[in-house]
Amino acid sequence: VASRRPPATDGRHPSAIRRRPTIQDLAREAGVSPSTASRAISGTGYAAAAVRQRVLDAAERIGYVPDANARSLRKRTSRSVGVLVSDLRNSFYADLAAGIEQELRAAGLLTIVVNDDGRVEDEVEGARTFIAMRVFGAIVTPVSAEAVATLLSAGVQVVQADRQFGDRWCDAVLVDNEAGAEQATRHLLGLGHRRIALLIDETVWTTGVGRLRGYRAALAAAGVPGDDELVAYTSFHAEAAQETARLLLERRPDVTAVFAANNVLAEGAFREVRRRGLRIPEDLSLVAFDDVPWMSMVSPAVTTVAQPALELGRTCARLLVDRLSGPVRPEPQTVRLQPSLLVRASTGRPAEG
């Protein structure tokens, strides 16, 4: 396709190729002192317009690029932000990361991403690495309290995303899980459903706690007695969720609606419903939490509680930047974003009454 000059590269270690120009080289080339060159390049401090231009030209000429490591060392803070997420391949986290990166880049910051796959050790290891990097701050979808605590005790500003450990440890941007789940459940109740199952994977994080609570609150408000057998616990895998859904539907064929507490569980539930040949929503209504692409591609499209994942990420980044560059704002703040119920075709009136 393209075939321009094949740039110099000989397979040896980069640093062996040619010593990169330093600010000394730049100063010599421009005929000024290193500090003047520094001021001209960084834009801080005085520098005569003519001199500045001369330095900029010289930089262009010799290909000078300031060493970010040296700069960080000297200024005792870097332009990097550590981002610790649970699963980049899950579109919720991918969107979150994209939102963070977008906002950070706009603020001139770099995103260092670590995927912990939900493992506590990897999360803590990531936190340590961020500390070593002297990051500007960190944004974490916490798996445990440990990583966050480690970062905080090392003096790193942290923003917790989506989930929260501790109460007022640091800034946090969450989704109002309770309101979302309550809304979804209420929607089903409004359609006439009474035996609504909840498929959920955890109830220890703020996410699971909130969603379970919202589900229960809606039932209680409607005067529908809670039935513990309808709360099916599973693990964070589509296969496991499918199996759990299978057992649930076998055990309780009277269930008329299933509320899956996240996109992965919804996938399992959807597959199981398909496998059994049940019609949606005639035989069974399905509601999910978290809108991902497949939900609007299938037919009937899946009714779901959409989370503003991209905006969540953006907000985290903005909070971090504000806190670190703005005036002192000691109080950690918790921002709660509202999810919205997208009513699509997977929910309808139950067959009998």
Partner DNA sequence: CTGTTAGCGCATTCAA
Partner DNA sequence: TTGAATGCGCTAACAG
**Subset of residues 25 to 54 that bind DNA, contact rule: CB under 7 A:** 26, 32-36, 38-39, 41-42, 44-48, 50-51
Q: Is 57 in the site for DNA (CB under 7 A)?
A: no
CB of 14 to DNA, least distance (A): 12
- State phi, psi for 304 to the nearest 5 degrees: -155, 160
44 forms part of the interface with a second copy (CB under 8 A): no
Q: How far apart are CB 17 and DNA at their closest, in Å?
A: 13
* Contact criterion met (CB below 8 Å) for 211 and 260: no
Helices 145-153 and 120-133: crossing angle, nearest 10°? 20
Q: Considering only residues 14-43, where is the footprint of a second copy by CB under 8 A? A: 14-15, 17-18, 20
- Shortest Cβ 139–DNA spacing (Å): 24
Q: Kindly indicate which of the ranges 182-190, 250-258, 278-286, 330-338 contains the residues binding a second copy, using the contact rule CB under 8 A.
A: 330-338
> Read out DSSP for 225-255?
PP-GGGEEE--SSHHHHHHHHHHHHHH-TT-
Which residue do the tokens 């009937």 mark?
Answer: 300
Residue 6 in the binding site for a second copy (CB under 8 A): yes
Give yes or no for a contact between 295 and 301, defined as CB atoms under 8 angstroms apart: yes
Cα separations (Å) of 251 from 133, 304, 352?
Answer: 53, 25, 19
Number of amino acids touching a second copy (CB under 8 A) = 93
Residue 165, binding choice from DNA, a second copy, none, Cβ under 5 to 8 Å by partner class? a second copy
206 binds, among DNA, a second copy, none (CB under 5 to 8 A by kind): a second copy
Q: Which of 17, 57, 63, 75 binds DNA (CB under 7 A)?
A: 75
Min dist. Cβ of residue 62 to a second copy (A): 12
Q: Check binding of 79 to DNA (CB under 7 A).
A: no
Say which entry of a second copy, DNA, none residue 235 contacts (CB below 5 to 8 A, set by partner kind).
Answer: none
Which one of residues 51, 56, 62, 98 is an interface residue with a second copy (CB under 8 A)? Answer: 98
Q: Build a one-symbol-per-residue string for 266-305: x at contacts with DNA by CB under 7 A, - elsewhere.
A: ----------------------------------------
Q: Using N-to-C axis directions, what is the helix angle for 34-42 and 49-62, rounded to 10°?
A: 90
Q: 334-337: long-range contacts at Cβ-Cβ below 8 A with a sequence spacing of 24 or more? A: 334/164, 334/168, 334/171, 334/172, 334/173, 334/174, 335/171, 335/172, 335/173, 335/174, 336/173, 336/174, 336/175, 336/176, 337/173, 337/174, 337/175, 337/176, 337/307, 337/308, 337/311, 337/312
With CA atoms as reference, report the closest residue to 147 among 161, 128, 162, 169: 128
Binding region for DNA (CB under 7 A):
19-20, 22-24, 26, 32-36, 38-39, 41-42, 44-48, 50-51, 64, 66-67, 70-71, 73-76
